Amino acid sequence: MQSIVRLADYRPSDYLIDRVELDVRLHPTETRITATLAFRPNPAGEPGAPLVLDGDELTLLAIALDGQPTGPGAIDVTPRSLTLHQPPQRPFVLEVATQVNPSANTKLMGLYRSNGVYCTQCEADGFRRITYFLDRPDVMAVYTTRIEAERAEAPVLLGNGNPVEQGAVGLTRHYAVWHDPHPKPAYLFALVGGHLGRIGSRFATMEGRDVEIAVYVEPGKEDRADFALDAVARSMAWDERTFGRAYDLDVFNVVAVSDFNMGAMENKGLNIFNDKYVLASPDTATDADYANIEAIIAHEYFHNWSGNRVTCRDWFQLCLKEGLTVFRDQEFSSDERSRPVHRIAEVRTLRARQFPEDAGPLAHPVRPQAYREINNFYTATVYEKGAEIVRMLRTLLGPDTFRRGMDRYFSICDGTAATVEDFLAAFAAESGRDLTAFSRWYAQAGTPTVAVTGAHDPAAQTYILTFRQSLPRVATEATAGAAVEPLVIPVALGLVGQGGESVAAASERVRDGVFVLDKPEDAIVFTGVAAPPVPSLFRGFSAPVKVEHALTRDERLTLLAHDADAFNRWQAAQSLAMEVLVGRARAGAPLADEAGPEGAGLTGALATFLDAEALADPAFAALVLALPGEQEVAQTIAGEVDPDAIWRARQTLRRQLGRDLGSRLLSLRDALAEPSGAPFSPDAASAGRRALRNAALDLVAAADPETGTALALAQIEAATTMTDRLAALATLSLVPGEARDGALARFGEAYRHEPLVLDKWFALQAMIPEPGTLERVRGLMRHPAFSLGNPNRVRSLVASFSLNNPTQFHRPDGAGYDLTAEVVLALDGKNPQVAARLLTAFNTWRMVEGGRRRKAEEALSRVAGTPGLSPDVSDIAGRSLAPVK
């Protein structure tokens, strides 16, 4: 098993690298890389220590020290490391020549080929698959890269930084030289070579720099990159306005490739993207695709400061760049779109992905204390929960002090590899506050629960809110036995009168609408409260916690109708629905046409809401209509979960909503229909109208499949956008019969040459909650467009089944577990990262009822016991099976 790496064992590198000069001669199977590395001993390191360079599947061709061959016994070399036993204790130059095979690199780490295009992925430890190196983020150097290739094979040659020189080499080859003047760690290195189409524009920074920005895509798809290019320019302008951060090179390039393990990579000046987050047209991309492209373009660009100019000292500090940058991209999207709607979307993602992670065997702190395989820590905890910590910091300090703290952090840490302590120190200095207790958010795993009770004293006209926080003891290899300490939790709140009015009550413990809970138990007293109010707590989801607050149904209805906070209005609707769903699921209730009086109460409230507000804010209305997902219901039940019972409960409530709201929903569809010939726009308002119209279709079909099928077929025929076409197909996918089968077949045929659209087609079918879906998935794995070698295809089909189809993944016979384990093992030798991420589908296995639990454990044990597992898969399997402590 892979050895444990611990934060407590960190020590600086014994040697530093000031300058890296790379000569990369591209060839499909025999690429030669000559690295000239300028070393010097690190004053903070161990004097006279051997120099140990990282490698991975490398072939050494030559090595020279200060221009001379190394003597006998001077080095030890394997494909995984190169050791210079007695390095000079002065500055010296090591020249290392290696050879790699990009075409055979199915791991998609290091240098590989994607549809004939040479590209790289070096985070976290891919650079060692290119040359022997000190492959750690605290070793930062200035890079100059010369790239050479056959002109016919790779007419476009791109690298980090600014272009310096280009020219011919003989009759058929050419070269380009790129120089990045900003020191960076090896994980930010990148190069691209191939046939690529280009679109570009220019951006003038606030410092007067004229920047050439460009997006490179598969030739013939240049028109699908316009939105991405525009998003780059808008991201640049927003970062200047909001954080005062200007771009620092003469060019900024984005390249889209079809084979990519992640969403995108922020390599300095040369961002490489999964093409699904670049390419968009009304006929091939949904509104969600456009929003994701905008957000991920922004995320990678914002890394230029939060990740590149200031990087992380070690991989334990990953949240320092990722959590902070997610916060920044979320703020960008909120400003570009609807802030309340986007906030709700953020929380839905957090609850669907991170809360289950925090509750399962893969739980870990935002800053882990130990890991076996760092690639397994690119998680929702690091990204989404990490962003919530930054947001809480802003809530505690206020926007002005927070901005000063960000400015101080960027200024002091520019050009360095920083830590969480460095980050918090900047805010402590600007605010004068001790943030030691706040820093526990980075160290303690698990989702906190805050229990709240309220008491009104009519004689004294006071209202007391009492808060109790608790945190589950989450045992990991590094934290087992550690004490659980209280967290600093900002509670944004207000009081609402029984008639819906805002209650102007005073409390000395509440400042700017925020109470800070920093003890296990605390209470606040409001004065001047004549009648019992309805508390509106954690407005805007001010902290990533679970709230236990026994509001009555009428009090929740008051919040839904009148709360000034949009998030808590949505939350009130969710809580009303969750009460119905959990009650029916726990009782194992059968599928029915209505959910009883509780369901009727919900539909009545939603009817009033729709009549008053649906057309004013369709995007918000669509979210209010959306029921909690099956995974969220399972998290609320928390143990002995029956996924089939949850599905029946949810389907029953969907039927009742569709039946009771049917006429309103049909009227909304008519009112929101786009005029014939109207131009397409992916803006938030247009997307919101489409979202509500399609939400209405979904509920109508749940109650009346015949009417829903007719409407869906007509919508597919008339649709001018992929959003409407796919939404109608999704509705049909839940209605068994010839209409569904025919629509799916026609869609697959129409888009057979569009891989990203076929991904949507694969995913829809993988998520059908029917017993026949498993065989459907197996059949689609034989489809000519499917390949285990392409991460997007695997995610769209197999991961959609395993992660987004609870009833079929958790089949009582264990066949869903077996399919997932089978694919994990088939993938592990080719692409361990994708295999390991697929295996995380088992994270919730301990929550399900006993029969399923035994089947899941058997499948996991089969994976764990397979000889020759990669460290990636071995780590996930081992942690998933670890005994509960």
Mean pLDDT of 254-268: 97
Please give the full DSSP string across 637-704, using - where no structure is assigned. H-SSB-HHHHHHHHHHHHHHHHHHTHHHHHHHHHHHPPPTTPPP--SHHHHHHHHHHHHHHHHHHHH-
Count of beta carbons in the 10 Å neighbourhood of residue 718:
12
- Band of the pLDDT at 885, cuts 50, 70, 90? low
Distance CA 790, CA 799 (A): 13
pLDDT of res. 475: 53
Q: Give 76-129 pLDDT, tens digit per residue.
A: 999 999 999 999 999 999 999 999 999 999 999 999 999 999 999 999 999 999
Three-state secondary-structure class, residue 811: coil
Cα–Cα distance for residue pair 395/509, rounded to 1 Å: 15
Calculate mean pLDDT across residues 720-726.
97
pLDDT band at 278 (very low <50, low <70, confident <90, very high): very high
pLDDT band at 479 (very low <50, low <70, confident <90, very high): low
pLDDT (average), residues 789-805: 98
In the chain, % helix, strand, coil (3-state, to 5) comes to 45, 20, 35
Strand partners, 52: 83
Query: Residue 503 has what DSSP assignment?
Result: P
DSSP state of 284: T
Looking at residues 687-699, what average pLDDT do you find? 98
Q: Mean per-residue pLDDT for 799-812?
A: 98
Q: Give percent of the chain with pLDDT exceeding 70.
A: 99
The residue whose two tokens read 């390191």 is 45
Q: What is the pLDDT of residue 675?
A: 86
8-state DSSP, 482? P
> How far is it, in rounded angstroms, from Cα 705 to Cα 687?
25
At 235, the amino acid letter reads S
In this predicted structure, the answer to whether residue 478 has a pLDDT above a threshold of 60 is: no
pLDDT band, very low/low/confident/very high, at 397 (cuts 50, 70, 90):
very high
Percent of the chain past pLDDT 90, that is, above it, reads 96
Q: How many helices (H) and strands (E) does the chain have?
A: 30, 31
Q: Round to whole Å and give the CA distance between 795 and 802.
A: 9
- On whether the CB atoms of residues 709 and 732 are closer than 8 A, the answer is yes
pTM, two decimals, is 0.98
For residue 409, give both structure tokens: 């952090």
Among residues 109, 98, 282, the alpha carbon closest in space to that of 725 is found at 282
Which pLDDT value is given to residue 482? 66
Mean pLDDT of 302-325: 98
The band of 356, judged by pLDDT with boundaries at 50, 70 and 90, is very high
Whether the pLDDT of residue 1 is over 70: the answer is no
> Taking the CA of residue 406 as centre, how many other CA atoms within 13 Å lie in the half-sphere pointing to its CB?
23
From the list 597, 601, 584, the residue with the least C-alpha distance to 651 is 584
Q: In DSSP terms, which residues pair with 53 in a beta bridge? A: 82
Both structure tokens of 315: 């991989």
Q: Are 861 and 869 in contact (CB under 8 A)?
A: no
Q: For 48-71, what is the mean pLDDT?
A: 97
β-pairing, 51-54 vs 110-114, is unpaired
pLDDT, mean of residues 775-782: 98
Active site residues: 300
Cα separation, 21 vs 336, whole angstroms = 41
Residue whose C-alpha is closest to residue 27's, from 187, 154, 202: 154
Q: Radius of gyration (Cα) for the chain, nearest Å?
A: 28
User: Average pLDDT, whole number, for the chain?
Assistant: 97
- Give residue-wise pLDDT tens across range 698-711: 999 999 999 999 99
CA torsion sign for 658, 664, 667, 668 is negative
Query: What confidence tens digit (pLDDT) does each residue in 494-525 have?
Result: 999 989 999 988 899 999 999 999 999 999 99
